[in-house]
Structure 1
């Protein structure tokens, strides 16, 4: 383990943090983008449709994350403009479910695979090398308990979430393998969890469900047990740059409330 990985300040040397948020247009994306900008980061907010932001630290962009070539070209443009990438927060989401297992429509799986898995694959592959070179690279996705404990009426959704988690854990292992090579630890077996942790980390943030102010206003008498407010999610994401990589890489952090 390198000495620099044991304690990391909230900023980065050589300039402000540059953080990419994919899926910035939703309620969670809005909260995360604003929290990151408030923390002092330059935020590249990507969505499928144009959006204006009232903060000069936020740079909006429209990109089709289902297009691998377009996503790689976008990653190159971000680095060319800002000189670095210190974070990738993947918030592209979707939902299908609520039917008994035997009635599962596999069209739902195709839809969720594209949104939850394919866009994640394209963005992480496009930005991986840049994040690995960052002094404090961070990647995070938001998952759900059903990825580990699937319910029969959420088969397609749970499977997509589980696939996304597996992909992020593979990236976490890649970050560890890169650190091992940099440290000259050629004899560390890959995939065992024993590889040294460098400065980059890939993390899974787990929720039961997300809560918004609109939901609270619509159902003021509902306590929404176990739900995580999008503002709490946003703060947890902003805090990723205040924690050492060994506390984050390959970890599932439960943000659900009792």
Structure 2
């Protein structure tokens, strides 16, 4: 099986592995012969049922990975979700609380626990998926856009911590994601500017072809929209 050029089999951690994007990333890396550790709170098939909101549980996961592999070569953090409203005045701070946990707190726990293991890699890569809403939030996306912007800031701080090592952290930016089930459910829609989950997985794989660190990689530019 074909591996990343010049690289032996890698240890890849995929969080949120039970969702459509997670499954696409898992397929890509397992298809290349890499060892993939899928994590999803739902306990989806093939995934470890770890609650990433539990810092102790994440710490135990990191300890288990260290004991078995000694390092991690890639972390693809795909825990997400969306909450919004029609107008700014209708924004629910309960939605903010949910998004804070999903988009920020899980990211914090994973990066803090796995930083030493990523630094132990000869060429480690970390990535989150962010959204155009972080740059230009609409009134109904106040909570979501703010949470995405905060997750970007945390990732950029993580990138700074990795500066001077052989590992990097970057942000993949999409308008939204689309997968085959969405197309099947709405065959009349064209989903302009959306990024297919398989294209997202390919973009994750491309991170090993660059030494860029702390960058925002805009995938919407390849989907007919400018950055």
Match of 2:200 among 233, 239, 253: 233
Cα deviation, residue 77, structure 1: 0.3
The answer on whether the counterparts of 1:48 and 1:63 sit within 8 Å (CA) in structure 2 is yes
Cα deviation, residue 65, structure 1: 0.5
Measure, in 2, the Cα distance between the counterparts of 1:18 and 1:24: 15
1:253 aligns with 2:217: yes
Measure, in 1, the Cα distance between the counterparts of 2:141 and 2:186: 24
Cα deviation, residue 11, structure 1: 4.7
Structure 1 residue aligned with 2:14: 21
Listed as ranges, the gaps of 5+ residues in structure 1 are: 1-8, 54-59, 180-197
- Give SS of 1:25's match: coil
Which string of whole-angstrom CA distances, capped at 9 and with x for unpartnered residues, describes residues 229-257 of structure 1?
Answer: 0110011112222x132x3x111001111
State how many pairs are aligned.
219
1:115 aligns with 2:102: yes
- Give SS of 1:139's match: strand
Structure 2 residue aligned with 1:140: 127
The answer on whether the counterparts of 2:18 and 2:45 sit within 8 Å (CA) in structure 1 is no
The answer on whether the counterparts of 1:72 and 1:126 sit within 8 Å (CA) in structure 2 is yes
Match of 1:212 among 143, 160, 179: 179
Root mean square deviation, CA, Å: 1.3
Measure, in 1, the Cα distance between the counterparts of 2:188 and 2:44: 33
TM-score by length of 1: 0.82
Structure 2 residue aligned with 1:222: 189
1:173 aligns with 2:155: no
Which string of whole-angstrom CA distances, capped at 9 and with x for unpartnered residues, describes residues 183-230 of structure 1?
Answer: xxxxxxxxxxxxxxx311101000001011011112222211100001
Structure 1 residue aligned with 2:5: 10
The answer on whether the counterparts of 1:92 and 1:115 sit within 8 Å (CA) in structure 2 is yes
Structure 2 residue aligned with 1:191: none
Cα deviation, residue 19, structure 1: 0.6
Runs of 4+ in 1 over 4 A off after TM superposition: none
Structure 2 residue aligned with 1:34: 27
The answer on whether the counterparts of 1:134 and 1:200 sit within 8 Å (CA) in structure 2 is yes
Match of 2:170 among 195, 198, 203: 203
TM-score by length of 2: 0.93
Measure, in 2, the Cα distance between the counterparts of 1:175 and 1:94: 27
Q: Using CA pairs below 8 Å that are at least 6 residues apart, which structure has the higher relative contact order?
A: 1
Structure 2 residue aligned with 1:96: 83
The answer on whether the counterparts of 2:70 and 2:117 sit within 8 Å (CA) in structure 1 is no
Listed as ranges, the gaps of 5+ residues in structure 2 are: none
